[in-house]
């Protein structure tokens, strides 16, 4: 279990979640809480990245005039809307890099 990296803040938070009376030397309990916290963080980051993915596709569909759009809406073939799509894709990649430790947190 000890191959994961934890910040001091994550460690302190995990310790605060342990039941009262848990011994500091009981590292197994701390590691379990840390793993739960990291799994929750990863899930939340992936959910945020998915929202960016959805926005990327939506903006691209508007730019191209694809379903659910009919091509007559404002934004069709608009470079700003194309940029929104590109930016949302970059945002999704940046969020996923946080999970992999590729961006300083």
Decide if 28 is inside a domain: yes
Decide if 105 is inside a domain: no
Q: Write the pLDDT tens digit of every residue in 17-42.
A: 766 766 655 566 667 777 777 788 88
Report how many domains make up the chain.
1
Decide if 2 is inside a domain: no
Q: Which range marks the domain in which residue 22 is found?
A: 8-100
Decide if 3 is inside a domain: no
Decide if 1 is inside a domain: no
12: its two tokens: 């302190």
Neighbours of 49 (CB within 10 A): 19
Give the confidence band of 70 by pLDDT, cuts at 50, 70, 90.
Answer: very high
Which residue in 19, 16, 18, 92 sits closest to 54, CA to CA?
92
Instruction: Give helix 8-17 / helix 27-64 axis angle, nearest 10°.
Output: 120
Between residues 60 and 18, which one has the greater pLDDT? 60
10: its two tokens: 């994550």
């Amino acid at each position: 279990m000890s191959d994961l990296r934890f910040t001091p803040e994550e460690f302190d938070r995990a310790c605060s979640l342990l039941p009262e009376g848990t011994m500091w030397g009981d590292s197994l309990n701390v590691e379990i809480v840390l793993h739960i916290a990291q799994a929750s963080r990863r899930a939340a980051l992936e959910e945020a990245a998915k929202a960016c993915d959805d926005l990327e596709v939506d903006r691209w569909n508007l730019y191209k005039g694809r379903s659910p759009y009919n091509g007559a809406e404002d934004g069709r073939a608009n470079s700003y809307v194309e940029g929104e799509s590109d930016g949302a894709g970059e945002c999704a990649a940046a969020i996923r890099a946080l999970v992999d430790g590729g961006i300083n947190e």
